[in-house]
Structure 1
């Protein structure tokens, strides 16, 4: 399939697909007329990349998942390298949550000092 069809089927712009290709996450074959040619496997790769990006993974984070799919696994998260990325991302999210809770507590304390009796939710 050509790049436009892959873009339509995956909900990703052609520009993004070219970007993924530049970073080695996609590898288009070329038809005799020079057009990029993608397979059904590429639909799965792009869908995996898109799903990971949508929950905060970086493009580089997606590489182990893509490699896992390319090695024939049914899911990109079933390889040990992908599990390591999941674990690292969860640790990052937990750290962000702790930082947000600390910021929230500080803002609530400032409100309480500035406005005794004001209701602080949460």
Structure 2
């Protein structure tokens, strides 16, 4: 499939696909006229790349991990690295939950004050 079709099927921009190629995360074959062509399996690969980016991994880490993840070759080093990334995400989730809870308390206090006629105006 051509780059536009892959972008549509994977739900990403053509620009993102070109970036993935620049980062050696995705490969294409070129037609005689220079157009990029991808196998059907590229859709799953792009979605995996997107998930790894969403998890906060930088492109260098994704490039290192991707062959092992795709081929299912779990080495102790890969497991350690993935576990460390998961722990980092868990920590971030904890921070976000704490921030959400504090914001909820502020909203509750502001609502109670508003109901009693104590208004604070934003500047």
d(CA) in 1 for partners of 2:106, 2:91 = 23
SS of the equivalent of 1:24 reads coil
Per-residue Cα deviation, 1:34-74 (whole angstroms, up to 9, x for no partner): 22232344222102123455xx434627716534334x118
**Structure 1 unaligned residues grouped into runs of 5+:** 117-122
**Residue in 2 aligned with 1:119?**
none
* TM-score, normalisation: structure 2: 0.65
Equivalent pairs, count: 110
**Structure 2 residue aligned with 1:57:** 55
Closer, same or farther: CA 23–100 of 1 in aligned 2, 3 Å: same
**Larger relative contact order, structure 1 or 2 (CA cutoff 8 Å, min sep 6):** 2
Gaps of 5+ in 2: 117-123
Name the CA distance, whole Å, in 2 between partners of 1:18 and 1:89.
27
Is 1:8 the equivalent of 2:32?
Answer: no
Does 1:73 pair with 2:75? no
Residues 22 and 59 (structure 1 numbering): CA distance in 2 closer, same or farther, change over 3 Å? Answer: farther
Larger-Rg structure: 2
Moved >6 Å (runs of 4+) = none
